[in-house]
């Protein structure tokens, strides 16, 4: 598989086979991903991989808290406001996903079941938690994005799928309770990883992209 193939094949996987991935495969992905670039080669990331019974406990606690309506309390707040164009894209994603899943707008029960599935890391057998020293500079988030995409592409090469999952760190206290991530670390992003159920409608769904001219500008190029 070449790089372009991996870039185009990667998509967010939202239905996983629960079977664990062998540790050697995960180690190969993670250790190769450590070659991602970072500001001044600072390599600010810390990555904790969680699986097995521990992840099951986290998932169950998440489902319970979500069911009780306990609001998300992430260490690093998620964006809630977007400009008009970005809002339209965000809403378009939600509509497309629910359409693919056959869930009607007014069907609160099925929507809730889907959100619960997200609390269960979409069925993934492993969760990667990316954490940083609490006093991190916002610039560090560039490094975080790069390593996460590197992991996602290396996973594709191994026939695995990923979903960057902010929802997986909505209750950081639960993750800390069941793992050894210290208090001086801020949980910044989660990523579900495992084998995709490729014929699941939510995985057949493909998110859209704007036209190249919406994003790209060439000055004095060719």
Q: Specify the stretch interacting with ligand FMN by CB under 6 A; choose among 38-46, 57-65, 105-113, 160-168.
A: 160-168
Residue 165, interface with ligand FMN (CB under 6 A)? Answer: yes
Asked if residue 100 binds ligand FMN (CB under 6 A), the reply is: no
CB nearer ligand FMN, residue 155 or residue 163: 163
Shortest distance in whole angstroms from residue 82 CB to ligand FMN? 13
Q: 203 and 161 in contact (C-beta within 8 Å)?
A: yes
Q: Is 167 in the site for ligand FMN (CB under 6 A)?
A: yes
Distance CA 86, CA 220 (A): 29
Is 163 a binding residue for ligand FMN by CB under 6 A? The answer is yes
Whose tokens are 């939510």? That residue is: 202
Query: What percent helix, strand, coil does the chain show, rounded to 5?
Result: 50, 15, 35
CB of 220 to ligand FMN, least distance (A): 31
Would you tell me the crossing angle of helices 23-33 and 140-157 to the nearest 10 degrees?
140
Q: Is 43 in the site for ligand FMN (CB under 6 A)?
A: no
Beta bridge partners of 161: 194
**Any contact of residue 63 with ligand FMN (CB under 6 A)?**
no
Phi then psi dihedrals of residue 217, to 5 deg: -140, 130
Stretch near ligand FMN under the rule CB under 6 A, chosen from 11-19, 39-47, 49-57, 132-140 = 11-19
Q: Could you write out the DSSP letters of every residue in 128-179?
A: EEEEEETT--TTHHHHHHHHHHHHHHHHHHTT-EEEE-GGGGSSHHHHHHHS
The one segment of 52-60, 66-74, 130-138, 157-165 that binds ligand FMN by CB under 6 A: 157-165
State yes or no: residue 112 binds ligand FMN (CB under 6 A). Answer: no
How many residues touch ligand FMN under the rule CB under 6 A: the total is 12
Question: Given the rule CB under 6 A, which of 8-16, 32-40, 69-77, 153-161 is the region that contacts ligand FMN?
Answer: 8-16
CA 66/CA 157 separation, integer angstroms? 34
- Rounded to a whole number of angstroms, the minimum distance from the CB of residue 221 to ligand FMN is 26
3-state secondary structure of 3: helix
Round the CA-based radius of gyration of the chain to a whole number and report it: 18
Q: Does 164 bind ligand FMN (CB under 6 A)?
A: yes
Q: Is residue 103 near ligand FMN by the rule CB under 6 A?
A: no
Q: Which residues bind ligand FMN (CB under 6 A)?
A: 11-12, 14, 93, 118, 163-167, 189, 207
């Amino acid at each position: 598989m070449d790089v372009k193939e991996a870039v185009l094949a990667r998509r967010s996987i939202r239905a996983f086979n629960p079977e664990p991935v062998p540790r050697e495969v995960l180690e190969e992905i993670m250790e190769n991903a450590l070659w991602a670039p970072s500001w001044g080669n600072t390599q600010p990331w810390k990555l904790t991989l969680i699986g097995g019974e521990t992840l099951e406990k986290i998932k169950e606690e998440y489902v319970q808290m979500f069911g009780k309506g306990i609001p998300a309390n992430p260490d690093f707040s998620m964006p809630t406001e977007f400009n008009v164009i970005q809002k339209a894209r965000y809403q378009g994603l939600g509509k497309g996903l629910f359409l693919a899943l056959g869930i009607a707008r007014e069907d609160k029960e099925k929507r809730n079941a889907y959100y619960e599935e997200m609390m269960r890391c979409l069925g993934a057998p492993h969760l990667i938690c990316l954490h940083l020293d609490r006093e991190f500079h916002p610039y560090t988030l560039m490094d975080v994005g790069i390593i996460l995409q590197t992991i996602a592409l290396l996973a594709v090469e191994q026939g695995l799928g990923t979903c960057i999952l902010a929802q997986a760190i909505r209750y950081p206290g639960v993750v800390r309770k069941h793992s050894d991530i210290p208090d001086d670390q801020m949980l910044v992003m989660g990523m579900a990883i495992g084998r995709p159920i490729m014929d699941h409608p939510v995985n057949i769904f493909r998110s859209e992209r704007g036209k190249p001219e919406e994003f790209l500008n060439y000055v004095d190029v060719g």
